[in-house]
Structure 1
Amino acid sequence: MEKNQSTELDTFLPGEKNGTKHDVVYMYPNSSEAAKALNGEFDPFKARDLEHPVSDCDTLTHLLKASLGTGILAMGAAFQAAGLVVGIFATIAVAIVCTHCSYVLVVCAHDLYKRTKKTKMSFAEIAEEACKRGPKWSRNLGFWAKQIILQGLFITYFTTCSCYSVIIAKNFEQVLTHYQLKFSDNDDTNLRLIIVTLLIPLILQAYVPNLKYLAPVSMVANVFMGLGLGITFYYLVSDIPQISERRLASPITTLPISLAITIFAIEAIGVVMPLENNMKTPKNFVGICGVLNQGMSGVTLIYILLGFLGYLKYGDDVLGSVTLNLPEDEYLAQAVKILIGLAVFFTFGLQFYVCLDIAWTGVQHRFQNKPLLANYILRTVMVIICIALAIAVPTITPFVGLIGAFCFSIVGLMMPVFIETVTFWDKGFGKFNWKILKNTIVVIFALLALIFGSKSAIEDIINVYTKAPSVTVASLLNESSIANTTTF
């Protein structure tokens, strides 16, 4: 791998016995590349030298796992808020926006590689370099752009890891409770004890050294998620109602809720640059038939199918996670909960590596003598803190939703179009400045996600701690219907 270079999800390990700090410098694996660089012909992809390169297939596997998270189970509620027909177009629109933001981030990275003579950069480094080489007004914003991305990604993914431990424990607890298998008669204590049992398995998963070796873990997670979704689809298509019994278009007042749910379900900006940085053929990540478009096309289709069938099957009774609508006393339904729990468990490592890399990059210069030992101690401590947070606040999920509303809206949607704007400032924005119009639409999407995602999360938090009835999509639709009737 390249020496003296900081990378997203860096493997850190075998090649660092000398404890060298991983600062990004201009490195070329051979003299011919150096000569080309001096002649202005530097090719960052040929110059990239990885110890554990990841194939296109493995990259696609990671991308699918990052996008097919537990958020997909909320798509029934998203279609409830949008309607059967509008929900299809709304999901496609959100997928296009989120995929586009990831796409322009990678395109900007490839442009900046050549301008800076670097072979790879993290999301935060791309923002910093774009500002430094952008218009005069942006050149002092590089540090702040980098910090916003670093802190936003770290907080979001670290709390998500903690939330994952709660989700895993709850799925297992529901099945165990059905068979009267409990550690304690107190439900909260029982849940906390199940979370404790996850500590060692999650630490062992966090010890997987790099993305290449994590690929089989992601594949296992995809298999479990696929089986769980397959059984869920079986329930959804059994005794399915007529389409005429459901709304084709819900009131426009609830459409922003649908957009917010879908954005937070499908967004995976944090793993985009880690995957690109570790690819054997990074050019294949983008393009019409690139890894990114292939993965997101498949993900979008699955989201549409689950959302459409979930709302068609259960109507306004569809819950925040469609698996909660499944019969509790049937073996297949119980299998779904176990499979989803296992899928989330094997997804932990991929999510964990995002915040691990940010933390390690910030402290590695302090441990130049024994970087390998220090790195594994950091991994262990971070997992322990994740589990401790989940044990202390097992109701962390709505708080993670609130954090995600802020971070994914700003970091996942606004920052990529900001980076694109400053990166290509001197090259212009196309005929009639169409890129400015396009970026404005993305910012509007982000603001809708921020406002309505935060509103929903705050309502969930209030509901958790006051036991008050939650403001559901169904209640909002009823209020809309009453308002429309009163108008006439």
Structure 2
Amino acid sequence: MARPEPGRVFKLVARTQAEEDAYDIRANRQLPKPSGLTGSIAHLVKGALGGGILSGHVAWMTAGLWVAVPVSLACGLYMFYCLFILVKSAQILYKRTRVPVMTYPDVGEAACACHSNPSITKLAKTFRYMIDAMICIDLFGSCATYQIIIAKSLKQLVENTQTTSMEGINGMPGLRFYLACIVPFVILICLIRHLKWLAPLSIVANMVVLFCIIVAVYYAFENNPTLTGMVPYTSFYNFFEFIGMAVFSMSCAAVIIPIENNMKDPDKYHIALSVGMSLIISCVFCVSFFGYAGYLDKCESPITVNFPLNTLGKALKGCIMVMIYVTHALNYWVPFATVFYYMKRKLDPNKHVMWELIFRAIFVAIIGLVAIIFPTITALMGFLGAFCLSNLAFIYPNVIYLLVHWERPGLGPFRWRLWLSLLMIVVGIFFCICGSFVSAVQLITIAINPGKRSDI
């Protein structure tokens, strides 16, 4: 997601279908290094494969195999459809506004600004701020989970024991101590102000994740050759906790628009999305199924914690720490850039760099405090998936789709676009409310009494 552009105003320019069709998005984009189809697919997969995929096996353990398999597939298809209509709506808005490149918040603002109803037009900035807020909460929250993954992996390596717990073993400090200790080091990497220094490392980070998937499959057959013993289902309550984690593990809602913006041939975005989501779902299924099969009711997050403490296992635990450390900085850059854009308006322009570095450190410290208060990976991921990503991946795309299609080309025979989008929105709201409530209860429980939950 790019930084918001000051002074940008979205107005309806193309008032007929002919004027829309006459505008060539590709010809009006000035891209120094556009991505081809393969590169776009790679960026899409890279945007989804992070810390979330390393906890998929815990999500499946939470729901049970018979529930997790069809619901994970349904969530993937649901997300594919919603992201497809989001990009489709964005491309229509490029033509209507004659603005060839937009961010996700831009698309939301433009969808309202170009509507004929003045009441909706007035909500353009509000809708933009809502999308900005959700993206920031999601990515800042993801950073908190990353800090917990780093601290938990570090704690296990220091204690050199397969058993993990919130408290320390043999008089050693607990998880919260490690969380506090890593904050200064996380601040250091988050002080990097330019993505170009971090981007090359992200490729290595994703290779580590892919290797972990292969190792998870290997250990599944070694520990459970028959791949049996998985619980078919658990409880309705656990289902909503699972939903949030499932959505979190495969969502790429925050990156889909920027990827389309940088495509050499934007008309092929549907191919990139189809192939990319297929690969994402496949990776999630591999980690989730084989991770659950390999460790059954002893599943913990991240999956590398379950790996044995042999040379390979320790190496992967260390690599995951480094990978998540880099991913944290990449994730942090996007929401901080958005927040600081709004903050710096009230700061001395001559001291922007100084204030940026100060606020970068402050925000990381706040994220670290959140991780210390709620040191549970799965519940935090579940909350972010249910609260933030239900909005970003399910609800907002359908709202934007309706706003864009309301008058031209219209709602279709029997208003099918309206009824379908309303159904998608209602399902998204249902997941958001129920999943957020269940995960919030888990977060409060772990904050008050960490011993209540073991799959931290």
Normalising by structure 2, report the TM-score. 0.82
Per the TM alignment, residue 97 of structure 1 is displaced from its structure 2 partner at its CA by 1.3
Letter of the 2:72 partner, please give it.
T
Residue 129 (str. 1) matches residue 106 (str. 2): no
Per the TM alignment, residue 337 of structure 1 is displaced from its structure 2 partner at its CA by 1.7
1:450 paired residue among 426, 433, 451: 433
1:271 paired residue among 237, 251, 255: 255
Letter of the 1:201 partner, please give it.
I
Per the TM alignment, residue 111 of structure 1 is displaced from its structure 2 partner at its CA by 0.1
Write the distance in 1 (CA, Å) between the matches of 2:236 and 2:261: 41
Per the TM alignment, residue 108 of structure 1 is displaced from its structure 2 partner at its CA by 0.7
Per the TM alignment, residue 260 of structure 1 is displaced from its structure 2 partner at its CA by 2.5
Greater CA deviation, 108-117 or 438-447?
Answer: 438-447
Letter of the 2:75 partner, please give it.
V
Write the distance in 2 (CA, Å) between the matches of 1:326 and 1:98: 31
1:314-393 to 2 correspondences below 5 Å: 314-327=295-308, 329-362=309-342, 374=352, 376-377=353-354, 380-393=357-370
Residue 222 (str. 1) matches residue 206 (str. 2): yes
Alpha-carbon displacement from aligned partner over 1:116-165 (angstroms, at most 9, x marks no partner): 11111121121122122235253332222111111221232223234423
Alignment-derived partner of residue 417 in structure 2: 435
Per the TM alignment, residue 277 of structure 1 is displaced from its structure 2 partner at its CA by 2.6
Write the distance in 1 (CA, Å) between the matches of 2:131 and 2:327: 22
Write the distance in 1 (CA, Å) between the matches of 2:294 and 2:76: 24
Residue 75 (str. 1) matches residue 62 (str. 2): no
Per the TM alignment, residue 435 of structure 1 is displaced from its structure 2 partner at its CA by 2.9
Alignment-derived partner of residue 196 in structure 1: 184
Per the TM alignment, residue 382 of structure 1 is displaced from its structure 2 partner at its CA by 4.3
Distance 1:96 1:153, change over 3 A: same
Alignment-derived partner of residue 452 in structure 2: 469
Write the distance in 2 (CA, Å) between the matches of 1:45 and 1:367: 38
Letter of the 1:239 partner, please give it.
N
Alpha-carbon displacement from aligned partner over 1:408-431 (angstroms, at most 9, x marks no partner): 222332111000011101123334
Q: Sequence identity, in percent?
A: 24
Per the TM alignment, residue 107 of structure 1 is displaced from its structure 2 partner at its CA by 0.8
1:171-182 to 2 correspondences below 5 Å: 171-178=153-160
Write the distance in 2 (CA, Å) between the matches of 1:459 and 1:366: 38
Distance 1:380 1:454, change over 3 A: farther
Per the TM alignment, residue 106 of structure 1 is displaced from its structure 2 partner at its CA by 1.1
Distance 1:440 1:274, change over 3 A: same
Residue 405 (str. 1) matches residue 386 (str. 2): yes
Greater CA deviation, 315-324 or 269-278?
Answer: 315-324
Distance 1:63 1:326, change over 3 A: same
Alpha-carbon displacement from aligned partner over 1:445-483 (angstroms, at most 9, x marks no partner): 32224312431232233223223523989xxxxxxxxxx
Conserved 8 A contact 2:237-2:438: no
Distance 1:395 1:77, change over 3 A: same
Letter of the 2:446 partner, please give it.
N
Per the TM alignment, residue 94 of structure 1 is displaced from its structure 2 partner at its CA by 0.5
Alignment-derived partner of residue 158 in structure 1: 140
Per the TM alignment, residue 332 of structure 1 is displaced from its structure 2 partner at its CA by 2.3
Distance 1:295 1:39, change over 3 A: closer
Residue 255 (str. 1) matches residue 239 (str. 2): yes
Q: Can you give the 5+ residue segments of structure 1 that lack an aligned partner in the other structure? A: 1-7, 13-20, 27-36, 474-488
Write the distance in 2 (CA, Å) between the matches of 1:97 and 1:279: 24
Write the distance in 2 (CA, Å) between the matches of 1:103 and 1:347: 26
Distance 1:396 1:464, change over 3 A: closer
Alignment-derived partner of residue 306 in structure 1: 287
Per the TM alignment, residue 397 of structure 1 is displaced from its structure 2 partner at its CA by 5.0
Alignment-derived partner of residue 207 in structure 1: 194
Letter of the 1:112 partner, please give it.
L
Distance 1:344 1:453, change over 3 A: same
Residue 281 (str. 1) matches residue 265 (str. 2): yes
2:278 paired residue among 287, 297, 301: 297
Conserved 8 A contact 1:102-1:272: yes
Per the TM alignment, residue 380 of structure 1 is displaced from its structure 2 partner at its CA by 2.8
Q: Can you give the 5+ residue segments of structure 2 that lack an aligned partner in the other structure? A: 11-17, 162-168
1:62 paired residue among 43, 54, 71: 43
Alignment-derived partner of residue 231 in structure 1: 215
Conserved 8 A contact 2:140-2:367: no
Conserved 8 A contact 1:74-1:321: yes
Q: Which has the larger radius of gyration?
A: 1
Letter of the 2:360 partner, please give it.
V
Greater CA deviation, 291-300 or 387-396?
Answer: 387-396
Normalising by structure 1, report the TM-score. 0.78
Conserved 8 A contact 1:259-1:449: no
SS where residue 223 of structure 2 aligns?
coil
Write the distance in 2 (CA, Å) between the matches of 1:40 and 1:298: 33
Conserved 8 A contact 1:84-1:248: yes
Alignment-derived partner of residue 31 in structure 1: none
Write the distance in 2 (CA, Å) between the matches of 1:391 and 1:39: 48
SS where residue 452 of structure 2 aligns?
coil
Letter of the 2:93 partner, please give it.
L
Write the distance in 1 (CA, Å) between the matches of 2:432 and 2:314: 33
Write the distance in 2 (CA, Å) between the matches of 1:244 and 1:39: 56
Distance 1:267 1:365, change over 3 A: same
